[in-house]
Chain A
Amino acid sequence: MLSFIARRLLSGVITIWFIATATFFAMHAVPGDPLTQEKAMSPAVRAQLEARYGLDKPLFEQYRLFMSNMLHGDFGISFTQENRRVNDIISKHFPISATLGIAAVLIALVGGVAAGSVAAYCRNRWPDRLVMVAVIAAISVPGFVIAGLAQLVIVAMNNAAGKTLLPVAGWGSVSQIWVPALVLGLGTMAYLSRIMRASMLEVLSADYNIAAKAKGVHGWRLFWHHQLRNAVLPVVTELGPTIAAITTGGFVVELIFAIPGLGRYFVQAVQQLDYTVIMGTTVFYGAFLVLVVVLVDISYGLIDPRIRLHRGRA
């Protein structure tokens, strides 16, 4: 087991190195450089700046420096916000993206499980049809359209009520999480409710379910202890990758709802060619993804030795 974990961790580290290298060279292939400014700059000033960011060194030397700094967990100083460190930026803004992402996953999970169960219970009757239509809509409408429309709906709702029922945008209070999280989690919710419906249908026709009913278990108890617990398993196994995807993918929601998450910073940094922030963010997200995957792998390995063997062989 230990060697399995060690192997997974090692391959994780190599993957992160690969990501860092790919990012570094992709970034340096970009025409133009982050020092370009609107006002023309005197050569003396430019030389100073190049020295400050190490851009005066040969590419390979820059790469070596970047790697050794990265090993010390230091991504350098931002180009656009000259007095802030990239580590600062990540540590301030990633928790926001993560909070939003986790809230989205929670909403998706609760919503997906509820909708899927309802659909399974009412198989081929109108609630089932309704859920399935909603699922199809949520999967096929692009997220940016949903985000834009959601904001309009909130404004209309607040105007109709004459007071602020739900905040339109911003970040800082609990109330400001829900709408963006719902928008972000909608696609996943639809996907999970599909899985939930299928697995609940299986459970409903399973022997132990019939046995439990025969034993006289019914109502909430039956649902909670016998059906939900079994039906929810396939949904839970889907969660790992989903959490990672959602947490790293909230760009547009963060833009539209004025949420200071790391995704928004990344898009801005790309537009400003802010090398250090781009590289820092990408490596960080890459590492985060790898970590999630490794953790999921290890936990599967712990649960099911067959996977361990299989993965070890592959």
Chain B
Amino acid sequence: MAKTSASRFLIVPAVALQFLAIFVLSVGLLSQAQAQAVDAQKSKVTLALATEPPTLNSAVATDTIASFVLSHLMEGLLVYGSDGELAAGVAERWQLDADGATFWLRDSARWSDGKPVTAHDFVFAWRHALKPSTASQYAFIFYPIKNAEAVNGGQLAATELGVSAVSDHELRVEFAKPCPYFLSLAAFMTFLPLREDVVAHWGGRYAADSDKLVVNGAYVLDKWVHGAHLRLRKNGHYWQKDGVKIHEIDMPYITADPSAQFNLFRDQQIAIAPLDTGLLDEAVERGFNIEYFHTGSLYFLEFNFREGRISSNRAFRKAVQRLIDPDLLVNKIIGLPGVKPAYSLFPVTVKGSEKPFREEYPVMRVDADIAEARKYLKRAKAELGLESWPPLVMLAGDSPRALQEAEYYQYLFKKGLGLELRIDQQVFKQRLEKMRRGDFDIVVAAWGPDYDDIMTFADLFTSWNDNNRGRYDNPLYDRWIRLAQSSNDAKTRFNAMAQIQRIVVEDVPILPTYENGALYVQNPRLKGVRRSIFGGDPNFRYAWIEQ
């Protein structure tokens, strides 16, 4: 018996020890050098990506992640410089007229395999993007170019497109209508050059892996493990390689979870991490370097104007306008500095003729007022001839913030107007499909600018725009847009835009709620990272690491 208890006595620690040994062994195995957020010696930055870029083929890429990666890999005719203004890229000079533009390419621009970048590469890329078989979502952005729309619709051959290589280093573009903002288009992702031989060689698998593309920008794609790891390394053939201070951008983490990214940042594994409401207090507490920038995108409620919808009644929309206070939404519900309440179709970042548009043409602000809102609602009820209010459908996305916002509106409608708002929460694609079919009364929508001109917002609610999902149809609105589109004169254009801004406030085709800002923490040794609306964000082309 004594023996038994002795053996028992021995076994317990022995088993525990065995278990512990395995654990310690594994911990020992792993303490190899871990990636650090910034490495001044190697001039290397480590980051986390929210998602993997769905594709790095510039002709079909649409998302912000692809735009970020491509802005480091590729260089267009023009680029956005360190100050966020347009600067010379592959084109060393250019000339813009009412009927077209000419670009003269620099001799020193090279692809990563050493071949020169020529005007033919641009002609090929643009034709390629417009071919119906490429099915590029961004094909419409070429439409200011002559014949672009017909080529995209399959009515004309791609060779009919109004772009030609006069010589290896001269590119001539003809416009279909005046396009005073063409230079900012020339810096856009879809306008990047493509090498015909490489695209033809890989076909549908072009840019699927790191060895299946050539680039002409500041970095080359050194490594791409799908879903796990991307690494960019300085491009030795880049014509301006001496200006590139960061030699390596390593992205060994791919996670969309802000908490996971924040934890990685706290552990000094990555140099930049986005913040949301739940993480803000903790970031402040730890004394992190918190920054924000305006993403240039507008969030709004879009009303449905299709036959028989309650939301097509103006008094009803005015009631909603007097009920929802963007200031309250931003400060109480969203609670992030950097997010701004919106009162206009045009965010404060939109450029005017000299100063920002909103400074030149201030918007009329409508303040929330429950008594007024109820008056409007009464009128709407009389106009619509309703006995009682039927429930309304609010279509919303499935992100945490969208959900929170929708629940807030639901409460406001119930308490403020006595209306029942039914939330229809859908995943991204289903929401888009329902928007297209008009399956909603109100939809929580957003719009980010595609190019650096006021028109990217303004023409959204014209009767012919397919992205006008509420089918708002106002001849007056359409007329102002036509006027602006046919003019090359800044004053005429912006006066028309001021009218558009007024119509949006008075007729409420949409109700702007907030202008989005991105809040993030950044490693204090990392300097010169450009955060911007256009040209890929964040941009490390001009960044450096402080010793």
| Residues in A whose Cβ lies below 8 Å from that of B269 | 164, 167-168, 170
The answer on a CB contact under 8 Å between A32 and B429 is yes
Cross-chain contact B30 with A168 (CB below 8 angstroms): no
- Chain B residues with CB under 8 A of A40: 140, 436, 465-467
Which residues of the partner chain A approach B8 to less than 8 Å between Cβ atoms?
121-122
Residues of B within 8 A of A31 (CB): 430, 433-434
Q: In this assembly, does B11 line the interface, its C-beta being within 8 Å of a C-beta of chain A?
A: yes
What separation, in Å, do the CA atoms of A256 and B57 have in the docked complex? 29
Task: Contact check, A38 vs B226: say whether CB atoms are below 8 A apart.
Answer: no
Which residues of B (439-468) have their CB < 8 Å from a CB of A? 465-467
B445 CB → nearest A CB, Å:
10
Asked if B257 and A258 sit within 8 Å, CB to CB, the answer is yes
Among A7-15, A60-68, A78-86, the one that faces the other chain is A78-86
Mark B55-83 against chain A: 1 for CB-CB distance below 8 A, else 0.
10100101000000000000000000000
| Contacts A83-B205, A172-B229, A218-B3 given; does A258 touch B254 at CB 8 Å | yes
A83 touches B55 (CB 8 A): yes
A22 on the B face (CB < 8 A): no
**Contact yes or no, B54 A44, CB < 8 A:** no
Q: Give residues of chain B (124-154) contacting chain A, Cβ–Cβ below 8 Å.
A: 132-133, 135-140, 152-154
A194 located at the interface, meaning its Cβ lies under 8 Å from any Cβ of chain B in the complex: no
A116 to chain B minimum Cβ distance, whole angstroms, is: 10
B267 touches A271 (CB 8 A): no
List 7 interface pairs A-B (beta carbons < 8 Å), by A numbering: A37-B432, A77-B204, A154-B267, A169-B264, A170-B253, A171-B228, A271-B398
Selecting from B13-21, B166-174, B410-418, the interface stretch reads B13-21
Binds B, one of A219-227, A237-245, A284-292, A298-306: A219-227
Would you call B34 an interface residue if the criterion is a C-beta within 8 Å of the partner chain's C-beta atoms? yes
Contact A81 B260 (CB under 8 A): no
Nearest chain B CB to A209's CB is how many angstroms away?
A: 10
Known: A83-B204, A110-B19, A255-B255. A260 touches B430 (CB 8 A): no
A87 beta carbon closer than 8 Å to chain B: no
Q: Does B10 contact A (CB under 8 A)?
A: yes
Given contacts A45-B152, A164-B269, A265-B227, contact A117 B137 (CB under 8 A): no
Q: Name the one of A32, A117, A155, A171 contacting B430, with C-beta atoms under 8 angstroms.
A: A32
Residues of A within 8 A of B207 (CB): 83
A257 to B436, CA, bound (A): 36
Question: Please, which residues of chain A bring their CB within 8 A of the CB of B267?
Answer: 154-155, 158-159, 164, 167-168
- From residue A256, how far is it (CB to closest CB) to chain B in Å? 6
List residues 309-339 of chain B with CB under 8 A from any CB of chain A: none
B259 CB-CB contact with A under 8 Å: yes
In the bound assembly, the distance between CA atoms of A93 and B227 in angstroms comes to 8
Q: Mark B173-200, 1 if CB is under 8 A from A, else 0.
A: 0000000000000000000000000000
Contacts of B135 in A (CB 8 A): 41, 45-46, 48-49, 52
Q: Which residues of A contact B386 (CB under 8 A)?
A: none
B263 at the interface (CB under 8 A from A): yes
Is B12's CB under 8 angstroms from A121's CB? yes
Contact A84 B3 (CB under 8 A): no
Q: Does B137 lie within 8 Å of A41, measured CB to CB? A: yes
Please give, as numbers and ranges, the residues of chain A lying within 8 Å of B34 by CB-CB distance: 164, 167
| B547, CB-defined interface residue at 8 Å | no
Contact residues of A between 161 and 216, Cβ < 8 Å to B: 164-176, 178, 213
Q: Considering only CB atoms, which chain B residue lies closest to A31 in the complex?
A: B430
B56 to chain A, nearest CB (A): 9
**Is A278 interfacial (CB-CB < 8 Å)?**
no
- Tell me the chain B residues, 4-63 only, with Cβ under 8 Å from chain A: 4, 6-8, 10-12, 14-16, 18-19, 22, 26-27, 29-32, 34, 48, 51-52, 54-55, 57, 60, 62
B266 touches A258 (CB 8 A): no
Map CB proximity to A onto B256-294 as digits: 1 under 8 Å, 0 otherwise.
Answer: 110110011011110000000000000000000000000
Does any Cβ of A come within 8 Å of B428's Cβ?
Answer: yes
Residues from chain A with Cβ under 8 Å of B252 in the complex: 170, 172
Closest to A217 in B: B7
Please, which residue of chain B has its CB at the minimum distance from the CB of A33? Answer: B433
A197 → B minimal CB distance (Å): 13
A86 CA to B227 CA, complexed, in Å: 14
**A38 to B204, Cβ gap below 8 A?**
no
Q: Indicate if A98 sits at the interface (CB-CB under 8 A).
A: no
* A118 & B152 in contact (Cβ 8 Å cutoff): no
**Is A19 located at the chain interface by the 8 A CB criterion?**
no
B152 touches A82 (CB 8 A): no
Interface contact B253-A81, CB-CB below 8 Å: no
Given A37-B432, A219-B7, A260-B226, decide whether A82 and B19 contact each other with a Cβ distance below 8 A: no
Residue contact A45 to B427, C-beta cutoff 8 Å: no
